[in-house]
Amino acid sequence: MKQTKTLILKIVIFIMAIFALGFAFILLPDLAKTAAGQNPEYAYLKNPVLIGLWTSLIPFNLALFHAYKLLKYINQNHAFSHSSVSSLRFIRNCAVAIIGIFVIGMIFLMTQHALHPGIGLIGLAISGSSLVIALFAGVLKELLLNALEIKAENDLTV
């Protein structure tokens, strides 16, 4: 049963990565080109915005990879290991990096007087969800560290 659940999660992670990469490298350039054509006064922002969004894909896909590794540890009955703690720490750091990239991007767009309220709300939603993921991964990491500490104490007493 556990194998089936983790397999489904692995498939979902793979699909998320494929959709994110496909959207970023296939659809997003066309959308940016269309937006630049419709708003020539903001056309100079096309490349910086694309680069910023593509940059945010790096920590996103790295976090997905470490989530995949975490599922692999669970399948191998190594969920309570320092490798799992390391993956959770990496996921937390990736979420914080995504927050930083989007905050810097929104500040840049504000300084250029180009931060449309809709774009700002999307940036805040992505930053907010990344904050939740970072906090959740941090709490799980601490719980896992406490469980490993208790396990080590129990191993010493037996």
pLDDT in tens, 36-48: 999 999 999 999 9
Domain that holds residue 15: 2-157
Task: Find where tokens 């007493």 sit.
Answer: 157
User: So what's the pLDDT on residue 1?
Assistant: 60
How many domains, the chain? Answer: 1
Give the whole-angstrom CA distance, residue 11 versus residue 67: 12
Predicted structure pTM score: 0.91
pLDDT, tens digit, 9 for 90 and up, residues 53-101: 999 999 999 999 999 999 999 999 888 899 999 999 999 999 999 999 9
Helical H segments across 23-45, by residue range: 28-38
* Amino acid symbol at 89: R
DSSP per-residue string spanning the chain = -HHHHHHHHHHHHHHHHHHHHHIIIIIHHHHHHHHHHH-GGGGGGHHHHHHHHHHHHHHHHHHHHHHHHHHHHHHTT-SSSHHHHHHHHHHHHHHHHHHHHHHHHHHHHHHTT---HHHHHHHHHHHHHHHHHHHHHHHHHHHHHHHHHHHHHHHHH-
Structure tokens at 68: 């995949």
Give residue 152's pLDDT band: very low, low, confident or very high (50, 70, 90): confident
- CB count within 10 Å of CB 80 equals 14
